[in-house]
A and B are shown apart, each in its own frame.
Chain A
Amino acid sequence: MYQEFFSHSDHLIWPLMGLIIFVSIFIGVLAYVFLGMRDREKIDEIAALPLELDSGTDLAATGHATGGPSK
């Protein structure tokens, strides 16, 4: 149905395609992330990856991890 609107160019349909792709993916990602990813334990584990201590220098300079879980 958009063909009439874009009848003056062979190429102007491309941006519309891009927009459709983005909106579809964005809604999909949002839905997936906030509805599909429900394993809180796993999420917290990954979110805390940087806080795993190195031996030696890191131990000396780092305090206790007291932050709450990742949202």
Chain B
Amino acid sequence: MEATNTQMKTVVYDDSIVRAFSIITVVWGIVAFLVGVIVAAQLSFWQANLGLEWTSFGRLRQLHTNAAIFAFVGNGMFAGIYYSTQRLLKTRMANDMLSWANFWGWQLVIVGAAITYPLGLTQSKEYAELIWPLDILVVVVWVIFAVNFFWTLAKRNEKNLYVAIWFYISTIVTIAVLYIVNNLQIPTSLTHSYPIFGGVQDALVQWWYGHNAVAFFLTTPPLGLMYYFMIKAANRPVYSYRLSVVHFWSLIFLYIWAGPHHLLYTSLPDWAQTLGMIFSVMLWAPSWGGMLNGLLTLRGAWDKLRTDPVIKFFVVAVTFYGMSTFEGPLLSIKSVSALGHYTDWIIGHVHGGALGWNGFMTFGILYWMWPRLYGTKLYSNKLAETHFWIATIGILMYVVSMWVSGVSQGLFWRALDAEGFLKYPDFIEGLTNSLAMYHTRLFGGVLFLGSAFLLPYNMIMTARQGAPATVSVQVPARKPAGDQESAWALLTSAPMLFIVGILALAIWFGASGTMLSPIILALLIVVSVGAIISYGLHQKRWGHWYGLIERHALVFTVLALVAILIGGAVEIIPTVIQSNRVPRVITDEMIADDPALAETAKWMQQPYSPLELAGRDVYVSEGCYVCHSQQIRPFRHEVLRYGDYSRMEESLLDHPFQWGSKRTGLDLARVGGKYDNLWHYLHLMDPRSTSPASNMPTYPHFKRKTVDAAVTRHRMEVLRRLNVPYTDEEIASAEADFASQGQLIADDLAGKDVNIAPDSQMAAVIAYLQRLGRGPQPVSAVPVTAGK
């Protein structure tokens, strides 16, 4: 692999793994876009659900998002990282077997997702829907990737770690932390589990993960790739290396805090919402710093924009990055979120990022990299240009239509008449108004999908006119000097000690009382002045300090890890502690001791009955949350439409939480008791029978398929381990209660000439829906006793 001579040695890069990842990126990309077009068609024409349980919107939407994120962007990311890392570190990947284990393991995860989602096997947490065995596989594959990457860092032949490598490091460590924490769960079977967090805790952890999956899977890797491939394509050094230092550290530190902006005006504690909003707005600065650094790299090379399709893809990608990172902070402002949340505006925002930023970045990289992998030129620049223009038009049609639809929905939902009542009480009217925009979105998606087929054709023809290239470089036979400084020496160097000291004093100042704080402030000033004097005396050493850090992979990784852990810890730990302090059972004696508990007790959620729990599990597996929220915000128009606003106590026992993030249909937090059982039956069998113009799929399989009382009983036992207060008696009578409540619903429907089995999914889902927003419901013909 590496032939040495006296002074130089030859390093041969492993580009076969890059070729494999590139090919599979295109394959999965087309699958992701195709499923995207299908789900867009389902929103336009409900018939596109095909009346099959496996192809309903709730199930396929998860397939679409996961295919786009993990299969398309993920494989593209691996292709780009494997290509650029070897060249930036002037070494072959540490272990070819690990590279291929990474490749095949990742494809296994994707195939697993493609099989399980249509089968309704899901955790129903956005972008983390995979069932637990696949979660474990993801972690194993990620560890393999990390070991291979850091091993390669250790054996590199380039002493400096270029900025692209920093972004890859932050991606690897952060995704590991996010994925593991958000997927802490207790299995109940091979295909089902309950997350250890419930209600508000689950919501915060999920969106800490969800937002940072966007940050550290869809943003930091493409940024790292931008810092390599855009520079290569433009043949210019990065505009400002210094700006890239500020960009990197401020971006990774800030991003991790922004998750709560997905939960504005929910029952998440207000301080966490505000914190998420503030950090999201601050995020605008480093994001645009990075965008400008990318675009300004093209200074003096803008003429290439006219002739080079690769530059076109990159410029539009970075421009979409700028647009998305402006729109994101904008939507995070509470008053803007009040209008945009739950609407199609968010869908437009996400697709601007996914199709424009990630998609075009990936296309640009493939068009640039592929000819080099085959030692030839691109088969057709014209085809690439055609791909670019059709896809651009497609994205614009998609995004603009969703903006129009989203803002219209927000305004429609909140409109009040002169008397202060809902101007448009019929929710479905808003959906009808959006249909033209849904059709436009579908057409835009078809254009994007259609144009994507030009890429594999161009790649195949390019490969046919060349041959797999073997690329090698000459590097010094001896490892370059520069890594002699030990990790300990770096971590205890003067700049680091001053930083830690100033931080510690700043924190102490904030936490101290009125007597102590002036003294600490004085100390803070003394230490800061000391730092300035130290810098003045040892300017050269201070100036080289960061250079030493960025040559030391271990120290750099530790500092990046600390930067991303602070935000998550500060938000999650207090919320978990606070919500854990809310007692799950409140007795009269407790209220006598602490009268404030009376209000908590009023809203405190009671455990679901066995049949309701079974129905909830069906609801979760169908992905109902992708269209129906269960979280009423404290606005007059929401309270008028859905009922009293949601309290934190009402969903504390929900594992997983089902607050949702989009309302194609109504909020269901208080749907219990609004309609009779027959209405729900008819609505689930054919939504158009009760809600003309609805685009909801049909669920006839609910009538055919059954739920298992014994399985539910086991799940109740698991939930009890998660602090859901099921009593011994409730678990002992689970199967009997399950059967009797099912019989009640079946008898009620039988009286209206509808026959269902008491243990059907239909009975269970109706039981669950009838429970939402209400206390315990009768489980047998005998009136329920107090305290049950």
Contact = CB atoms under 8 A, between A and B. Distances in A.
A15 B231 contact: no
A47 B238 contact: yes
A18 B577 contact: no
A29 B251 CA distance: 12
B250 A50 contact: no
Contacts of B164: 50
A38 B543 contact: yes
A21 B517 CA distance: 17
Interface in B352-377: 371-373, 375, 377
Contacts of B566: 18, 21-22
Nearest to A53: B473
A50 B234 CA distance: 11
A3 B513 contact: yes
A1 B517 contact: yes
B245 A33 contact: yes
A2 B521 CA distance: 13
Nearest to B257: A18
A56 B375 contact: yes
A24 B239 contact: no
B168 to A, nearest CB: 14
Interface string B555-586: 00000000100110011011001100000000
Contacts of A19: 278
B91 to A, nearest CB: 13
Given A3-B514, A16-B510, A57-B372, A51 B570 contact: no
Contacts of A50: 84, 87-88, 162, 164, 227-228, 231-232
Contacts of B513: 1, 3
B371 A56 contact: no
Contact of B471 (A22, A26, A55, A70): A55
By secondary structure, the B interface counts as helix
Contacts of B238: 47, 70
Contacts of A65: 235-237
Interface string B292-329: 00000101110000000000000000000000000000
B254 A22 contact: yes
A28 B231 CA distance: 28
Nearest to A56: B471
Interface stretch (B53-61, B498-506, B615-623): B498-506
A58 to B, nearest CB: 6
Interface in A10-64: 11-22, 24-26, 28-30, 32-34, 36-39, 42-52, 54-58, 60-64
Nearest to B86: A54
A25 B254 CA distance: 11
Contacts of B87: 50, 52, 54
Interface in B236-292: 236-243, 245-246, 249-250, 253-254, 257, 271-272, 275, 278
Given A45-B160, A67-B301, 15 more contacts: A1-B513, A2-B511, A18-B257, A20-B507, A21-B507, A24-B503, A29-B245, A29-B249, A32-B545, A32-B546, A36-B542, A42-B547, A65-B235, A67-B237, A70-B238
27 contacts: A1-B514, A3-B512, A11-B573, A14-B570, A15-B272, A15-B571, A18-B567, A22-B253, A26-B253, A29-B249, A32-B542, A33-B245, A37-B245, A39-B547, A46-B162, A47-B238, A49-B158, A50-B84, A51-B232, A57-B471, A58-B471, A60-B375, A66-B236, A66-B300, A67-B237, A71-B239, A71-B243
For the complex of A and B, list the 3 residue pairs with the smallest distance between their C-beta atoms, beginning with the closest: A67-B236, A11-B574, A71-B240
Interface of A: 1-4, 9, 11-22, 24-26, 28-30, 32-34, 36-39, 42-52, 54-58, 60-71
